[in-house]
Structure 1
């Protein structure tokens, strides 16, 4: 992308368009996995859905490739591509809770910390990961499990609707009654169907979550896993667990 095209994009979008020569470029292209060192042609910090629509139109009309970043936790760094333009949704991180219907609408750039903070005030929650800095979008579109999964399912099982900007720049709501095929695709199909600018989730009554950590020497890993395999199916659905093999310190 040359400077003229970069300046033209800046005039058509509300949010900042950050190029390789800008001071903010290093920050803008940083993701959670420090092994990822990709250099996009530009990073667009989208301010609203209209910005996303305009950005998608601009990229399509000028033959540019998009990448979409929500929380930036993607292990392989899918929110960045060398030479592509990253649509950064992190400025879109609002969450609105409706306690009457026990639902929440989370913007495409919201993190699990944003979602949990908003829903906990009402004694509600939805299954969503284990780290507060994880993005709602990447987690949900990848399936999404968390502490509440054994009782309430995956994140995607609790998705009731999604607002999507399609490749032609149009905006649709995908749910069981509108664009049902797209809704089906979002609920497990992965990516490349559009840019999801908001997610509507079903919520469940949740008040207190207790966390315990047990540490075992690595040579007992198989024995502990076999015990857990037999134990978990008989345990209450309120109980959830996951395993990690770590080197401590620093783990």
Structure 2
């Protein structure tokens, strides 16, 4: 009777949501099972309603009931910024107020309509992220209707930074490549100084990377880093090579199938090895 029965024990799902497409990927705790791309759909728009409709189409083709689901959002759908805690801050409310003030200065207007989360820290600068409440509502509604367990919703950059936190070298900046965009966390020693994002031009080589890093260092008032550590499908020519003395560049190995679409690669960002 059990022939053909396939247990979901140890299985989980990851959904990558980009402004133009979504992907559903199944992962497993078992080392012999590779991640499997279950499906992808195009989105008719980047607004929460359109993304919610695309999500319904994607999930409607699969039985996801009872499974734990992690959602990774493209950084285009979120807002990221660095917050310096006020001097003498002792309460979470002080940190939240500082994050809101910084948000208003960077993005204009208040935080109404956005949900803010952060690595709240009263002693050092920390990273904050905001996600539209309307998008969170779409995800919550999908979890209820499809009966899956929504365990995490995280912007891609945050997922990648958390995944590689333990291997970040002293004096290094950290970067993520996705969808033709390079996002970089600039560090002053161990302190987060800024998060900067820029499109990668066609044919961007190591010279472009060095010029870009030098400009960003000037913008945030820091010296050029000793090393840049990058995850995602970065150009192989960016890696350190003989004669490159301005700074070293390490490309973390990308284990994702190179034929997978960007939204599927997005879904796996932050997955534990």
- Output the TM-score relative to the length of structure 2: 0.24
Query: Which structure is higher in strand share?
Result: 2
Higher relative contact order (CA closer than 8 Å, sequence separation 6+): 2
